[in-house]
Amino acid sequence: MDTVNKNSIKEALNEKSGFDVWWRLMRPHTLTASFIPVFVGTMLAYHDGTINWTLFLAMLVASLLIQAATNMFNEYYDYKLGLDTEESVGIGGTIVRDGIKPKTIRSLAITFYGIAVILGVYICIESSWWIAIIGLICMAIGYLYTGGPIPISYTPFGELFSGVLMGTVIIGITYFIQTLTITSEVIWISIPVTIFIGSINLSNNIRDRDGDKAGGRKTIAVLIGREKAITVLAVLFSIAYSWTLALIIARLLPIWTLITFLSVPKAVTVIKNFRGKTEPLEMMPAMIATGKTNTIYGFLLGISLVIAAFV
């Protein structure tokens, strides 16, 4: 690609130099998949009468670091496997468009993992060492998502792994370290967040379908086609909101949780912005809006639990 076209893509994506390069490396629109589960799990514990703010902050930072490191490993291995080029239209581009050395990104990811481990030790001391085993498994899967002999991202199971691990598992861990127990109610309540986080992954794969297909990936979007994948995304959104309503009716969630439906317009925007689009650059707003849907829903869910605790 010539320099003019390369710069045109950077301008279209509003990519800037300096600190913005390192901020984009962490793929900030995906970090909602780390913040929201920790927030929801903590607010569930608060609703049940207990909270340790230091543990909350430690868990939050550790989760963000693991997510950021996973994104960096994704950037590193996508480049090594030839999936990311200067023509790729994605938030990843630190190597191919900004010139950061792959080794630097890999080292930074390992450093983030190291800091997360230190925070994990503190969390274990304050709760249970079983958390260490679960945490190490999560970190290993984060690495194996794009690393290892058979990267998870090359299979149709990327959405499942990311959704369950970042949704149900993280919410469960967060609740457990606060209360030293886990309940079936927490698992049921985590399902919508799990769906929204998996949807972030699906949204990304819808945008990258053509490049992923050329690179040999077998994602859901590649296997069933872009339009059908968008329909699957719409169905997942519908299930998440229907599940939420069922939880409210079953009194597993307070009536205040109806405020989460304020996120519906953003979810509708995602589908509208995907339909009829074929170019990755055209689909960027829809992909970003998917992350915002998770953020709005999860934040309002947590707030509803806080309100219910006071009422």
Report pTM.
Answer: 0.86
Backbone angles phi, psi at 52, to 5 degrees: -125, 105
pLDDT value at position 12? 47
pLDDT value at position 294? 95
Q: Would you say 200 and 160 are in contact if contact means Cβ atoms under 8 Å apart?
A: no
| 191 conformational bin, left if phi > 0, alpha if psi -120 to 50, beta if neither | alpha
Nearest-angstrom CA–CA distance, 42 and 18: 35
pLDDT value at position 305? 96
Nearest-angstrom CA–CA distance, 247 and 210: 38
pLDDT value at position 140? 87
Which of the 8 DSSP states describes residue 263?
Answer: G
Distances (CA, A) of 115 to 122, 131, 137, 256, 278: 11, 16, 16, 37, 40
Amino acid identity of residue 275, one-letter, is: R
Report helix angle 170-179 to 53-80, nearest 10. 160
pLDDT value at position 4? 43
Which of the 8 DSSP states describes residue 169?
Answer: I
Amino acid identity of residue 26, one-letter, is: M
Structure tokens at 98: 């900004």
State which fold the 3-310 domain adopts. Answer: Farnesyl Diphosphate Synthase (1.10.600)
* Ranges in the chain, pLDDT < 50: 1-4, 9, 12-14
Q: Where are the beta strands (DSSP E) in 196-269?
A: none
